[in-house]
Amino acid sequence: MRPKIVLASGSPRRRDLLASLGVPFEVKSSQVDETFDGTCSPSEVVEDLAHRKAMDVARTCDTALVIGADTIVVCDGEILGKPRDETEAVQMLSKLQGRAHQVYTGISLVEVLEGQVIRERVSHRMTHVWMRPLSDEKITWYVDSKEPLDKAGAYGIQGLGACLIEKIEGCYLNVVGLSVAELDQMFADLNYSLVQ
């Protein structure tokens, strides 16, 4: 029998993705510091942050499968997290417009049995994204919508931000914030099924 699933994320996108699969789960947002070592690779950053989030919540669980995740956008080697304010959102979108960038999402799956961590899996996915050339007016319109303010790289592909994206190469749900295919494989690696 599969233990209860706990999502260690306050992200509405991740909650919606799991809910769309019909997967019963609880949400317990982690309280970890999301700063990272700037010398690490993007894949190392997202895997570390996802794992820190999962472990933070795992410590509060008795028996569970805890999912942690983190998403960043990378353009010209620069890691873009969530914008601090509207000005930074404009700066990020101005940098991304008309160009290709990469979206990395790290996933950590931690199995807890009777208060003890017994198994862990950490992975990531990367998707190439091409943003359309954008006018200053289009960027202002989007930032004024408030949608970019809680999203890595200052955009969400699943909302109004879909208007900004020309094409992608790779997993779409990875850009939304959680590669369901990758998570399903991680569950299988631990001899569980995500969706049954």
> Using CA atoms, how far apart are residues 138 and 17, in angstroms rounded to an integer?
28
| 62 flagged as catalytic | no
Q: Which long-range contacts (CB under 8 A, 24 or more apart) does 12-16 make?
A: 13/156, 13/158, 13/176, 13/177, 13/178, 14/69, 14/177, 14/178
What is the Rg, in whole angstroms, of the alpha carbon atoms belonging to the chain?
A: 17
Distance CA 104, CA 47 (A): 9
What is the number of other CB atoms lying within 10 angstroms of the CB of residue 15? 16
pTM for this model (two decimals): 0.94
User: How many residues make up the chain in this entry?
Assistant: 196
Among candidate residues 131, 127, 126, 125, the one with its CA nearest the CA of residue 167: 131
- Can you give the pLDDT of all 196 residues of the chain as single tens digits? 899 999 999 899 999 999 999 999 999 999 898 888 878 999 999 999 999 999 999 999 999 999 999 999 999 999 998 999 999 999 999 999 999 999 999 999 999 999 999 999 999 999 999 999 999 999 999 999 999 999 999 999 999 999 999 999 999 999 999 999 999 999 999 999 998 7
User: How far is it, in rounded angstroms, from Cα 24 to Cα 134?
Assistant: 40
Task: Supply the pLDDT for residue 35.
Answer: 84
Can you state the angle between helices 86-96 and 136-144, rounded to 10 degrees?
140
The number of beta carbons lying within 10 Å of the beta carbon of residue 118 is 11
User: Is residue 47 a contact partner of residue 108, using CB atoms and an 8 Å limit?
Assistant: yes
Instruction: Kindly list the structural domains of the chain, giving each domain's residue range(s) and its CATH number in brackets, ordered by start.
Output: 5-189 (3.90.950.10)
pLDDT for 173: 97
DSSP code of residue 50: H
The active-site residue, picked from 16, 70, 76, 189, is 70
